[in-house]
Amino acid sequence: MTPPDECKPVQDSMPIMKRLKEETAAYHAKLESLPFFKMLMEHRLPLECYVNQLRALSIIHGVLESEMAGEKAVAVFWDDSLRKLPLLEKDLAYFQPRVLLDARGPVAAALAVTEKIRLRRVEKPITLLGCLYVFEGSILGNRMHQADIAANFHLEGVNGCRYYFSYGDQVGARWREFSQKINDTLGDSADHGDIVAAADETFAGLETLYRALYPLEKSAQSFHITRINPEAGNHPMPQDEREIGAALRASAQGWNEFGYYLQRYGQRGKRFSDSDTCWLATLAALEPAIVRQQIDWLCRVLASRGMPTIMMEYSLRFLSAELAKVVPEKQASYQKLVDAADSLRAAREKIVASSDLQSLSAEFDQAIPDDMAQDYRNTGKLLVAAVADEKGGIKGSVAALQGWLTDPQRFSGGWIGAVTSILQKAQRIVAAGSDQVSEPGE
């Protein structure tokens, strides 16, 4: 039997924001008492501690903001004005000329927080609000510390501390708006307890992070992949700055080769391209068979998500060339990447001849407006390559590309007709080729 309202526990009828504030107050006090903040307020915090804080927070915000933006259960509470990752990226870019290595302890602590965020989205998405509460609330405290940051590191204006200046002079108004929306929408929801638990969990993760940020274990420092892409997780990357720079240049070249990628995946996709290319650079140290195995695995993952393997071929060639320029003594190792690219091209050309790919691509460009041909340069090649990938055994590669490129909410009927026509022609060529190959054995 459901008890009458007057018999419900008091905490159930308490506004969720008030309950969050009261039940997490001890965490606020504990964080502020940690050595990291003590050194900051005394203006004695080492720069590497601050920069590693920015990097760790970029890891957490990158994942939290991606999970929030993609989850319908919390859509009413989320909009892009809540994003803090762009501010963190600007702060990190300000300090980029000073090569400060990544401390493994803070990175590990940040990754542990993101693992729990991802798990919460799977198990109970509404509890992501508890995580968001922690970081929105921290903006209030950040404003109090902004002067300490500026004084500690001799910063002018908001350079290097944009994250600490989130919302500018609207920080109070934004907090009241956020609080009101949470209270009004959730009311006396049964989810209050779980949301508070998520906030507690996030605070506990931040305590571990800030304990790792000061003092830093300098012997554990190196370049971590989250420096390139906060959402990249924990995979290898080069430890030679020359190779990192070469990988980023190669990623930019590959990204620019196909306009569709920026249009569809935006800057978040570019960050994944950067981190993937850094990982590809590490493969040059492996045996050729393992290199090919690893690349084939990534090709299948990407092609099934709308990124045909022809881009990998281009990226590997760009990467090998850029690496050889800056570390010529390892050119023989980098040749493995070229060999892998050659294998990808050979596999595709067994299915679709290079001449057919070129002619169909040119036909597609002729069928679409000139401005679209530039914004979506080489999309015709992607369409034909996707057909080849599908025939080569990567199921869903055509659908993953076609679905987005024929969305009537995004494209005109003429464009959709051009995409459909090229796909059909490529499929007929592939089918005809298969028939010819099978004839001798019939």
Q: Shortest CA distance to 88 belongs to which of 263, 271, 233?
A: 271
Would you put residue 407 in left (φ > 0), alpha (ψ -120 to 50) or beta? beta
Residues of the chain with pLDDT under 70: 1-13, 97, 99, 219-221, 434-442
Asked whether residue 3 is domain-assigned, the answer is: no
Q: What is the amino acid identity at position 85?
A: L
pLDDT of residue 398: 97
Asked whether residue 174 is domain-assigned, the answer is: yes
pLDDT of residue 189: 84
Q: Are 178 and 137 in contact (CB under 8 A)?
A: no
pLDDT of residue 435: 57
Q: What token pair was written down for 342?
A: 């050659």
Number of domains in the chain: 2
Of 200, 224, 248, the residue at which a domain comes to its end is 224
Q: Are 272 and 232 in contact (CB under 8 A)?
A: yes
Structure-token match 């569709």, residue found = 260
Asked whether residue 230 is domain-assigned, the answer is: no
The reply to whether 210 and 71 lie within a common domain is yes
Instruction: Report the number of secondary-structure helices (H) and strands (E) in the chain.
Output: 20, 2
DSSP for residue 147: H
Rounded-to-integer distance, Cα 179 and Cα 16, Å: 9
CA 363 to chain centre: 34
The reply to whether 245 and 388 lie within a common domain is yes
Asked whether residue 45 is domain-assigned, the answer is: yes
Q: What token pair was written down for 188?
A: 């006396």
Residue 71's alpha-carbon distances to 24, 29, 77, 86, 178, in angstroms, are: 25, 32, 10, 20, 18
The reply to whether 187 and 251 lie within a common domain is no
Residue 37's alpha-carbon distances to 42, 74, 141, 164, 367, in angstroms, are: 8, 32, 11, 14, 61
pLDDT of residue 436: 53
Of 168, 195, 224, the residue at which a domain comes to its end is 224
Q: What is the amino acid identity at position 32?
A: E
CB contact burial 86-121 (16+ within 10 A = b; e otherwise): ebbbbbbebbeeeebbbbbbbbbbbbebbebbeebb
The reply to whether 360 and 400 lie within a common domain is yes
Contacts of 328 (CB under 8 A, 6+ apart): none
pLDDT of residue 434: 65
The reply to whether 191 and 253 lie within a common domain is no
Q: Torsion angle, CA of 393/305/429/313, rounded to 10 degrees?
A: -80
Say which CATH number the domain at 212 has. Answer: 1.20.910.10
Q: Burial of 131 by CB count in 10 Å (0-12 exposed, 13-18 middle, 19+ buried)?
A: buried
Rounded-to-integer distance, Cα 144 and Cα 394, Å: 54
The reply to whether 195 and 279 lie within a common domain is no
49 CB neighbour count, 10 Å cutoff:
22
Phi, psi of 273 (to 5 degrees): -60, -45
Of 199, 224, 249, the residue at which a domain comes to its end is 224
Asked whether residue 369 is domain-assigned, the answer is: yes
The reply to whether 115 and 18 lie within a common domain is yes
Asked whether residue 20 is domain-assigned, the answer is: yes
The reply to whether 372 and 426 lie within a common domain is yes
For the chain, how big is the Rg over CA atoms in Å? 26
pLDDT of residue 221: 65
Contacts of 37 (CB under 8 A, 6+ apart): 31, 145, 210
DSSP for residue 14: S
Asked whether residue 1 is domain-assigned, the answer is: no
Q: What token pair was written down for 251?
A: 């990623």
The reply to whether 155 and 242 lie within a common domain is no
Q: What is the amino acid identity at position 96?
A: Q
Rounded-to-integer distance, Cα 48 and Cα 219, Å: 13
The reply to whether 198 and 250 lie within a common domain is no
pLDDT of residue 358: 96
Q: What is the pLDDT of residues 356-373, one digit of tens each?
A: 999 999 999 999 998 898
Host domain of residue 52:
11-224
Rounded-to-integer distance, Cα 424 and Cα 412, Å: 18
Contacts of 376 (CB under 8 A, 6+ apart): 259, 260, 263, 368
Asked whether residue 302 is domain-assigned, the answer is: yes
The reply to whether 220 and 289 lie within a common domain is no
The reply to whether 141 and 178 lie within a common domain is yes
pLDDT of residue 13: 59
123 CB neighbour count, 10 Å cutoff:
9
Angle at 187 between CA 181 and CA 188, to 5 degrees: 150
Q: What is the amino acid identity at position 66?
A: S
